Amino acid sequence: SYELTQPPSVSVSPGQTARITCSGDALPKQYAYWYQQKPGQAPVLVIYKDSERPSGIPERFSGSSSGTTVTLTISGVQAEDEADYYCQSADSSVVFGGGTKLTVL
């Protein structure tokens, strides 16, 4: 079955840039989506179709794609960005990555 692979954790200091990767064989053919989830809350879509930002999402969130890897970049990380981040895509079925815990030091 199709899998998306993310690093379990990423740590950055406030004001620095965080990069979270997501790898999958179908990513060159299929769009990726990114969600932010804080404890006890439902996920929030922060990037759609690899690099588009929904309205209301801060400009410091951006996405990019290269081959079998997509990357969520958070520039100028703030304490409020500490959360779990999940990538999502679809091949024959819908799949989420395992999630990455972003820690703001």
Partner 1 sequence: EVQLVESGGGLVQPGGSLRLSCAASGFTFSSYWMHWVRQAPGKGLVWVSRINSDGSSTSYADSVKGRFTISRDNAKNTLYLQMNSLRAEDTAVYYCARADYDILTGYSRWGQGTLVTVSS
Contact between 69 and 27 under an 8 Å Cβ cutoff? The reply is yes
The distance of Cα 54 from the centroid of its chain, to the nearest Å, equals 14
What region does 43 belong to: left with phi over 0, alpha with psi -120 to 50, or beta?
beta
Contact between 86 and 34 under an 8 Å Cβ cutoff? The reply is yes
Q: Which of 21, 26, 48, 68 binds partner 1 (CB under 8 A)?
A: 48
If one asks whether residue 33 binds partner 1 (CB under 8 A), the answer comes out as: yes
- Measured from the CB atom, the residue of 90 and 105 that comes closer to partner 1 is 90
Q: Which of 7, 21, 26, 43 binds partner 1 (CB under 8 A)?
A: 43
Residue 70: CB partners within 8 Å, gap ≥ 6?
21, 22, 27, 32, 50, 63, 64, 87
- Measured from the CB atom, the residue of 35 and 61 that comes closer to partner 1 is 35
Q: Which of 72, 74, 77, 89 binds partner 1 (CB under 8 A)?
A: 89
Q: Which of 10, 20, 35, 36 binds partner 1 (CB under 8 A)?
A: 35
Binding site for partner 1 (CB under 8 A): 1, 31, 33, 35, 37, 42-45, 48-49, 54, 84, 86, 88-90, 93-99
